[in-house]
Each structure stands twice: as structure tokens, then as C-alpha cells.
Amino acid sequence: MSQLIQLGSNGQASIVADTWTRVVPPAPAEESVRKQAGKVVLFKLTGEQTYSPEQIANTQIPATGKILVPLAVWQARKAELQARLAAGELGIVLATNETAETLQAEFADLNTLPIIAIYVERFADGRIFTLGNWLRTRYGFKNELRAIGDVLRDQLFFHKRAGFTSFLIRADRSAEDALASLNDFSQPYQGAVGDVPVWRRIQRA
């Protein structure tokens, strides 16, 4: 069973097959010290490298098919990925400590990307929402925006309102169950991506 929920153009959500293969760099040779301490580390200074040069060099990229690659891998291996991009077979994965600005520096028109995925390491990292919002409102990204990583149904409503159009539910949870949560609230108060505050939307008594 697929774990991918997608919003159709009519706003209806359904479970669909995932046609994108996520390219993940190999684990680092040494666990980072902070991780060894057994603590969850969420905060990475913006600009800090997500992956080491070795990891990036050792990343296996499938020869064919649609691939989602981390921004850092794209930056380091553009030459070999260029053709995939041109063929519409390349999407970028942004980590929550990366910025939309860096992405923009790589792709003057973000819409050359058929998909951008934002990877959230822990569901409690709310930066994903601001990133989604920025990509939609500030950077004019119109294609598929996907939430991946520790994605649980209880945050989907927020993901959706922050501009995401697809959601890869964590592997051990039911995407079927998660579908319903997209409609937890029918008339939210505040504006969001593609939505205005309630008082601009409807006449209130």
C-alpha cells in the first residue's frame, strides 16, 4: 500500500502510487558527536552542511527514472544531473535547516522543478511550514510540494494550509487513516497559502 497522499486539482485528497525515487546519501562514516550523545538534534545552523563531501560523492544515483535528490547532492553533482532536470525527472529535497533562498540561487525559475520535497527529521520541527509558505508565496513555486520524513496525520492539516500538495506518511502509519485528518477543520480563522482570513472570506454576523 502506498504511503503517499496527494491533493488533486479539485482539492480532493487520494492515495496514489509514488513515482519518485528518493536518493539518500549513505550514512556518514562516523556518527556525529551530537547524535552519539543520544540527543535529538534539530537545530543546524543555516549554511551548515547537511552531508559531507564523501557522503555526497558516494551517493548512488539510479540511472533511470524520476529522482528526488538532496539540494547538496544537486549542488555538487550538477553536471551529471542536468539532463535529468531537462527531462523533468529531477526534484529537490530541502532539509528544514536549508533555505528557500539557496534553492532559488540554484534554479532561477523554481518551476523548472516538477517537485520540491521538504524533509522533516522530527514532526515537531515547525520550520517546514514556514518553508512551504515561502516557496508558495514568495518564490512562486506552482508544482508539487511534498512533505516527507516524520510526517504524521496530526500535522497534515497544517501542511496543507502551508502550501503542501502531497504528503508521504511515515512508513509505520496508515495513509488511509490519515486522509480524513485533512478535513479536521472546515473554516479556519487565519489566512494561509491560497486562502485569506475568514473575515475576508465570508460575511460574519
Partner 1 sequence: MYKYDPIDQQIVNERVAQYRDQTRRYLAGELTDEEFRPLRLQNGLYIQRHAPMLRIAVPYGLMSSKQLRKLADIAKRYDRGYGHFSTRQNLQLNWPKLEDTPEILAELATVEMHAIQTSGNCIRNITTDQFAGIAPDEIIDPRAIAEIMRQWSTFHPEFALLPRKFKIAVSGTQQDRAIVQAHDIGLEFYKDAQGQMAIKVWVGGGLGRTPILGTVIREHLEWQHVLSYCEAVIRVYNIHGRRDNIYKARIKILVKALGIDDFRRQVDEEWAHLKDGPLTITQAELDRVAHYFEPMPYKTLPAHDASFDAAVACNPAFAAWVKRCVHAHRVPGYRAVTLSLKPHGKAPGDITSEQMHMVADLADAYSFGELRSSHEQNLILADVQLSDLFAVWEKARAAGLATPNIGLLTDIICCPGGDFCSLANAKSIPIAEAIQMQFDNLDYLYEIGDLELNISGCMNACGHHHVGHIGILGVDKDGSEWYQVTIGGKQGNDASIGTVIGPSFSAEEMPGVVKRLIEVYVRERSDEERFIDTVRRLGVAPFKAHVYAEKESA
Site string for partner 1, 141-170 (x = CB under 8 A): -----------x-xx-xx-xxx--------
Restricting to residues 108-127, name those near partner 1 by CB under 8 A: 123-127
H, E, C per residue of the chain: CCCEEEECCCCCEEEECCCEEECCCCCCCCCCHHHHCCCCCCCCCCCCCCCCHHHHHCCCCCCCCEEEEEHHHHHHCHHHHHHHHHCCCEEEEEECCCCHHHHHHHCCCHHHCCEEEEEECCCCCCHHHHHHHHHHHCCCCCCEEEEEECCCHHHHHHHHHCCCCEEECCCCCCHHHHHHHCCCCCCCCCCECCECCHHHHCCCC
Please list every residue from 44 through 63 that binds partner 1, using CB under 8 A: 46
| Interaction of residue 139 with partner 1, rule CB under 8 A | no
Does residue number 202 form part of the binding site for partner 1 (CB under 8 A)? yes
Q: Does 188 bind partner 1 (CB under 8 A)?
A: yes
C-beta closer to partner 1: residue 20 or 134: 134
Contact positions vs partner 1 (CB under 8 A):
34, 39, 41-43, 46, 99, 123-127, 129-131, 133, 137-138, 152, 154-155, 157-158, 160-162, 181, 184-192, 196-200, 202, 204-205
